[in-house]
Amino acid sequence: MGLFKTRRLSKTYGHGDSKVAALSSADIALPKAGLIGIEGKSGSGKSTLLNLLACLEKPSGGTIGFKGKNLNNLSSSQELGYRQHSVGLVFQHYNLLEDKSLLDNIVFPLLLLGMSPSAARQKGRNLAKGILDDNLLGKLPSQCSGGEKQRAAIIRALAIEPEAIFADEPTGALDESNAVKVMDLLKEASTKRLVVVVSHNHNLLARYADSIVKIEDGKANHGQERTNPGQLSRGHSSLWWIKEGIWKISGSWRRLLSCFGACLIGFLSLLCSAAFFLGYEPCLYQERIRSLDAGVATVSYERSVSTDDSLLSLVVQERPSIDLVYEALEPLSSFSVEIDYSFLLPGSVEFRLSGGEGEAEFVPVSSLGSAYAKSLLIEGSLGSDDLSSCLVNDAFIDKYGSESIGRSLLVQVGGSYTGEGWEKEINLNLSLIVKGVVSEFGFLNSPRIYYSYPALSEWAAGHVVYGEGEKEVTLGELCESATSDSYYSNYRYRIFVSNKKDLQPFFEILQAYSDEDAPLTFTSRAYLSYASFLDLSKALSSCLAVFLGMELLFVGSVIVLSVLSIFASSRKPMAIMMALGAKKSSVISCYATPTFLMIGLSALLSLPLAVGFIFLLNQGFERLFGLHSLLRLGEAGIDSRLWLSLGLMVMAFLIVSFLALAMAFRKLSLSKEMHDE
């Protein structure tokens, strides 16, 4: 009764001209027990035959019968089971795992079978009794002699009590006395099982072998024996790789630490740029809404007047019809349209502030009360809307200092007023106490002073600018009847939209009327600065998107390369593990686990670091340059989308790395790795 029976077994390597027939049409039968020697010249195909029998290679033709089953047709689970249970392998160059002690090498196949480490070690020690000294068992292979290593390799092969042991030139690298010890061991093992020994040492084989198969130029022939059907074991899945993977962390902590550092920096910069990328639009929108004068605009009507010179045309601004204005603002739920008195406090106005002088923009708001709610550092309290209070923005404080809070701003307004039969130069004094600071979108801001428009309007309407006897003229009346070329001509209306919900539709109206041909001309500082900043930031964000993409590629390739570098540096131990019956996916997991752990850990740590970094940046820049509003862009981007994209990114990196590893493994030839020194 035999264990193996091959029929017309052949193996060719390469294609076309470089095709090599390593083994051709071999018919051999191998018994269930005994030591069979395989002999032949170098290059005759001995190792090839052994590789085929051990399932390290697939044959190009013919069949290998093992216990009545064809080894070519095994499922992957059966093939795994065949390696785990049925065969033990011994090579010329030992193929021990270099980072494990001799004992750990011996017990490794037992762990693959799911045996507990302590039981496996006990069994390993028992097997090694009388063959290897106890003190040798704890040593690394690099600290042992060739003979000791080969004896450990034979004990490892015997540990699983296989049905066959294949030994390829087991004495090839040993001196005579060690060779004899090794052959004695194999001979003893052959009493219970088949031991196939390949050697070109004829004398040694003649002394030990029960029979010898001769291979000549890839052909082997041997007496035929009948095979007996039997059972094949299935592959066993055990979780050995988890412990092994964690153990590997301590072995390569330097490499892992640098992987961790590189990934941390990569994820941190990805998160920061993603935060800015995601944050710029919501931030600008929030700031636009937050801006105190978001709902304030003026509206006028522009008319072209033709002149005698046909090349020249004049544009005259006139007060539009109120119906036209109401029609334009129809989509809004609430708004007010007022006569414009803000010419009294135009664009930039000089003021005096306890001795010093300054210049700022005076900005009307519909009510100081609502502005008050959004302001900081309030000094005292803000009474009813009157012309004695104002708020300033943070750009104002940056320029004139926080001492100005609580002080009075003295402003002189007025000019040359003319009416029917009179002309008068009038100067009016206003005194406004700074009640608080409004923190606002400061990036493009200049110093500003917010005052209550209704208060100004009430004051102006009733203020007498000319009075002589019966005739009294108020500023209100003067403005109503002014001609368009006087500076208080009041050709505009002022619009106040105070409901926050109306702001978006209001900006849409401003957008719709931004055309040159539009019948009305709206002017809104909030809209203009938002629009120009949005354009700028759109350009910036496309740069950021390109940068982000490149960074993603960069971090991805660093991760994939660092994972692949493990494969490149550990091909041999990986091949040994697989030849001993470890599952391919377990081997990949075992070697990739430490790196994957580092990637995951660095991703997790990068989250709080990114938030802290953006926060610190924000604080630092605010203190240094007052640029906080720009950096709030980053803060606005810190939301669930950022975490989600980080999670997806890490998943994608890991999947790509695993696939890259699996691809690399497809090209891994077990037999080649096992035979290379």
Q: Residues in the site for Mg ion, rule: CB under 5 A?
A: 47
Q: Which amino acid is at 105?
A: N
Site for ligand ADP in 646-675 (CB under 6 A): 672
Judged by beta carbon distances under 5 to 8 A according to partner kind, the member of ligand ADP, Mg ion, none in contact with residue 235 is none
Q: Which amino acid is at 95?
A: N
- Residue 579 to residue 488: CA distance in whole angstroms: 96
- Looking at the Cβ atoms of 50 and 110, the one nearer to ligand ADP is 50
Give the interface segment with ligand ADP, choosing from 38-46, 112-120, 482-490, 559-567 (CB under 6 A).
Answer: 38-46
- Looking at the Cβ atoms of 43 and 356, the one nearer to ligand ADP is 43
The residues, ordered by sequence, that sit 6+ positions from 128 with a Cβ below 8 Å of its Cβ are: 102, 103, 106, 134, 137, 152, 155
User: What H or E segment, with its residue span, contains residue 144?
Assistant: none
> Given candidates 48, 457, 570, 595, which one binds ligand ADP under the rule CB under 6 A?
48
Give the interface segment with ligand ADP, choosing from 42-50, 361-369, 394-402, 612-620 (CB under 6 A).
Answer: 42-50
Under a CB-based contact definition with an 8 Å cutoff, are residues 38 and 201 in contact?
Answer: no
Judged by beta carbon distances under 5 to 8 A according to partner kind, the member of Mg ion, ligand ADP, none in contact with residue 42 is ligand ADP
Identify any residues that bridge with 69 across adjacent strands, giving them in sequence order. 66
- Residue 661 to residue 655: CA distance in whole angstroms: 10
Judged by beta carbon distances under 5 to 8 A according to partner kind, the member of ligand ADP, Mg ion, none in contact with residue 383 is none
Site for ligand ADP in 548-577 (CB under 6 A): none
Sign, CA torsion 274/280/285/291: positive
Residue 16 Cβ vs ligand ADP, minimum distance, rounded to whole Å: 13
> Given candidates 8, 13, 251, 481, which one binds ligand ADP under the rule CB under 6 A?
13
Sign, CA torsion 339/344/349/353: negative
- Looking at the Cβ atoms of 13 and 422, the one nearer to ligand ADP is 13
- Looking at the Cβ atoms of 47 and 291, the one nearer to Mg ion is 47
> Given candidates 5, 46, 149, 492, which one binds ligand ADP under the rule CB under 6 A?
46
What tokens were used for 92? 């010329």
> Given candidates 42, 142, 427, 483, which one binds ligand ADP under the rule CB under 6 A?
42
Q: Which amino acid is at 637?
A: G
Give the interface segment with ligand ADP, choosing from 41-49, 146-154, 293-301, 621-629 (CB under 6 A).
Answer: 41-49
For Mg ion, the nearest residue by Cβ is 47
Comparing C-alpha atoms, which of 384, 295, 293, 367 is closest to residue 334? 295
476 binds ligand ADP (CB under 6 A): no
C-alpha 302: how far from chain center: 53
Site for ligand ADP in 16-35 (CB under 6 A): 20, 22
676 binds ligand ADP (CB under 6 A): no
Q: Mapping DSSP to helix (H, G, I), strand (E, B) and coil, where does residue 540 land?
A: helix
- Looking at the Cβ atoms of 219 and 463, the one nearer to ligand ADP is 219
The phi and psi torsions of 439 (rounded to 5 degrees) equal: -85, 120
What tokens were used for 216? 């000549």
Judged by beta carbon distances under 5 to 8 A according to partner kind, the member of ligand ADP, Mg ion, none in contact with residue 22 is ligand ADP
**Continuous H helices in 227-342:** 240-251, 253-290, 322-328
Q: What is the chain's Cα-based Rg?
A: 45
- SS3 of 608-642: the string is HHHHHHHHHHHHHHHHHHCCHHHHHHHHHCCCHHH
Q: How many CB atoms lie within 10 A of CB 64?
A: 21
- Looking at the Cβ atoms of 47 and 541, the one nearer to Mg ion is 47
Identify any residues that bridge with 2 across adjacent strands, giving them in sequence order. 31, 227
Give the interface segment with ligand ADP, choosing from 36-44, 148-156, 459-467, 624-632 (CB under 6 A).
Answer: 36-44
> Given candidates 6, 10, 24, 44, which one binds ligand ADP under the rule CB under 6 A?
44
- Looking at the Cβ atoms of 20 and 553, the one nearer to ligand ADP is 20
Judged by beta carbon distances under 5 to 8 A according to partner kind, the member of ligand ADP, Mg ion, none in contact with residue 20 is ligand ADP
The DSSP output letter for 437 is: E
467 binds ligand ADP (CB under 6 A): no
- Residue 440 to residue 546: CA distance in whole angstroms: 30
291 binds ligand ADP (CB under 6 A): no
What tokens were used for 598? 């580092």
Residue 21 Cβ vs ligand ADP, minimum distance, rounded to whole Å: 8
Give the interface segment with ligand ADP, choosing from 40-48, 241-249, 376-384, 403-411 (CB under 6 A).
Answer: 40-48
> Given candidates 1, 8, 14, 321, which one binds ligand ADP under the rule CB under 6 A?
14
- Looking at the Cβ atoms of 47 and 150, the one nearer to Mg ion is 47
Q: Total residues contacting ligand ADP (rule CB under 6 A)?
A: 13
- Residue 588 to residue 656: CA distance in whole angstroms: 13
First-to-last C-alpha distance (Å) of the chain: 37
What tokens were used for 324? 């036209």
- Looking at the Cβ atoms of 629 and 671, the one nearer to Mg ion is 671
The residues, ordered by sequence, that sit 6+ positions from 176 with a Cβ below 8 Å of its Cβ are: none
Q: Mapping DSSP to helix (H, G, I), strand (E, B) and coil, where does residue 241 land?
A: helix
Give the interface segment with ligand ADP, choosing from 12-20, 63-71, 150-158, 449-457 (CB under 6 A).
Answer: 12-20
Q: Mapping DSSP to helix (H, G, I), strand (E, B) and coil, where does residue 4 land?
A: strand
Comparing C-alpha atoms, which of 190, 454, 177 is closest to residue 336? 454
Give the interface segment with ligand ADP, choosing from 14-22, 333-341, 344-352, 361-369 (CB under 6 A).
Answer: 14-22
What tokens were used for 255? 């490499």
45 binds ligand ADP (CB under 6 A): yes
- Looking at the Cβ atoms of 56 and 360, the one nearer to ligand ADP is 56
Site for ligand ADP in 158-177 (CB under 6 A): none
Judged by beta carbon distances under 5 to 8 A according to partner kind, the member of ligand ADP, Mg ion, none in contact with residue 43 is ligand ADP
Judged by beta carbon distances under 5 to 8 A according to partner kind, the member of Mg ion, ligand ADP, none in contact with residue 44 is ligand ADP
Judged by beta carbon distances under 5 to 8 A according to partner kind, the member of ligand ADP, Mg ion, none in contact with residue 643 is none
Under a CB-based contact definition with an 8 Å cutoff, are residues 101 and 181 in contact?
Answer: no
The contact set with ligand ADP (CB under 6 A) reads 13-14, 20, 22, 40, 42-48, 672
